[in-house]
């Protein structure tokens, strides 16, 4: 994941793209810090950061339309995903067959880290309640990149704590999924000065998680499943007008 390099890149791009403002057109950028209100799993955390570059065109004295290129990254923590209980191992006497056993709870471990970031484009409408305060709604599409780090080892035995007929399955892979999904945004902005503003945004997003499934859990060949997930986030951002 390239998140440590994205925000400096956006700042450099913003500086390079500055142009003369007019009474109808304006351009700016913002840096956002927020939290996940719903759907914190499987990142196992709530923190999120983001940035955006926007272009705004005034259409009436009290309204404008805007387009924003944005980036969002979700903080993630490692978690244990071991499915204790019954498990499966190959049957050496029957090609393609399986033998049901028990996942040893003492020496089996399956840890995951689900990383998520997205690049998107949003179009919206802004309405000014006062010259300083406005509300906006936006609809866009984001390319979400989901990558899972799966590490561990699962041991199948005939009894919960025994070693008879023990079979081990090692886990070390990083499945990933890239998907284009819609994003809905509701927010408000307060203009602190002519060139600085504070903004709050509530977003509803959908994304697809890449999830690795070992042989021991299903008795079928190890594979990656793709699950549709949703999040509701809220962030506060500081913006400047170039």
* Long-range CB pairs of 47-51, under 8 A, 24+ apart, other chains included: 47/74, 47/75, 48/72, 48/73, 48/74, 48/75, 48/233, 48/235, 49/3, 49/7, 49/73, 49/75, 50/235, 50/237, 51/6, 51/7, 51/10, 51/11
User: Along the chain (242 residues), what's the average pLDDT of each consecutive run of 10 residues?
Assistant: 51 47 85 96 94 96 96 96 92 87 91 97 97 96 97 87 76 96 97 95 97 95 95 96 90
Give the pLDDT score at 160: 65
Q: What is the pLDDT of residue 23?
A: 72
Give the whole-angstrom CA distance, residue 193 versus residue 66. 19
C-beta separation of 120 from 183 below 8 A: yes
- The residues spanned by each domain of the chain are 3-18+27-241
* pLDDT value for 92: 84
Among the four given CATH numbers 1.10.486.10, 3.30.565.10, 2.40.160.20, 3.40.920.10, the one describing domain 3-18+27-241: 2.40.160.20
């Amino acid at each position: 994941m390239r998140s440590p390099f994205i925000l400096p890149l956006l700042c450099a791009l913003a500086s390079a793209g500055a142009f003369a403002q007019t009474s109808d057109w304006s351009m700016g950028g913002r840096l956002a810090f927020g939290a996940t209100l719903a759907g914190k799993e499987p990142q196992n955390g709530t923190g999120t950061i983001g940035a955006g570059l926007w272009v705004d065109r005034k259409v009436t004295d009290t309204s404008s339309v805007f387009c924003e290129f944005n980036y969002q990254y979700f903080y993630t923590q490692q978690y244990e995903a071991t499915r204790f209980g019954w498990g499966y191992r190959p049957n050496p006497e029957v090609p393609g067959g399986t033998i049901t056993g028990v996942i040893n709870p003492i020496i089996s471990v399956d840890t995951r880290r689900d990383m998520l970031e997205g690049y998107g484009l949003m179009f919206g409408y802004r309405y000014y309640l006062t010259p300083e305060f406005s509300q906006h709604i936006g609809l866009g599409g984001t390319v979400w990149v989901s990558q899972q780090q799966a590490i561990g080892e699962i041991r199948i035995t005939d009894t919960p704590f025994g070693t008879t007929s023990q079979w081990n399955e090692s886990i070390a892979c990083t499945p990933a999924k890239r998907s284009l999904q819609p994003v809905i945004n509701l927010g408000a902005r307060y203009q602190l000065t002519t060139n600085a503003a504070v903004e709050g945004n509530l977003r509803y997003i959908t994304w697809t998680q890449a999830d690795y499934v070992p042989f021991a859990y299903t008795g079928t060949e190890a594979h990656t499943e793709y699950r549709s997930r949703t999040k509701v986030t809220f962030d506060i951002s500081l913006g400047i007008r170039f």
